[in-house]
Amino acid sequence: MTPERSKANHPRLRSLLEQRGLRVTVRRLAVLQALGASRRPLSHGELADELVTTGMDRATVYRNLMVLAEAKLLLRTRMPDGIFRFELLRQGGRAHKLHPYLVCTECGQVRCLPRQAVSVKPGLGDVLEVQLRGRCLACLQG
């Protein structure tokens, strides 16, 4: 790995860290980049599987996820399968709370659904997040 290049290559992610008063490290940039490149929330396990190939330790992935989530750069959500998933929060993170997730009981993947897929009657509370558990289309058809 070439730490210097990794750092130089992500000015945007770097500034995110600096704004929160967090140290800019190769590992943190890698975590942010991986989550930013994913279209769906990732678990620590999924992310670690990906990042250990670069020599990063699973515990380091874990601790960085904690730090970044605490700094509100990531959203940490326990999905209905009991596993925490993390996603990058763009600008205050409003956009990502609005679409429902489906956690597939067969393949385990988290699918983001279009916002209008689920409608919640008003007056029940301030609903921030909608999670479904079931079988996704791919698994039903397979």
24 binding partner (options DNA, a copy of itself, none; Cβ < 5 to 8 Å by kind)? DNA
Does 5 engage in binding with a copy of itself (CB under 8 A)? no
Task: List, as one string, the DSSP characters of 80-105.
Answer: TTS-EEEEE--GGG-GGGSS-EEEET
Alpha-carbon gap, residue 40 to 71, rounded angstroms: 20
> What is the torsion angle, in degrees rounded to the nearest 10, for the CA atoms of residue 115, residue 118, residue 121 and residue 126?
-50
134 binding partner (options DNA, a copy of itself, none; Cβ < 5 to 8 Å by kind)? a copy of itself
Q: How many residues contact DNA, by CB under 7 A? A: 27
Contact with DNA (CB under 7 A) among 40, 72, 78, 115: 78
Report the SS3 class of residue 24: coil
Q: Which residues bind DNA (CB under 7 A)?
A: 3, 7, 22-28, 43-45, 55-60, 62-64, 66-67, 78, 82-84
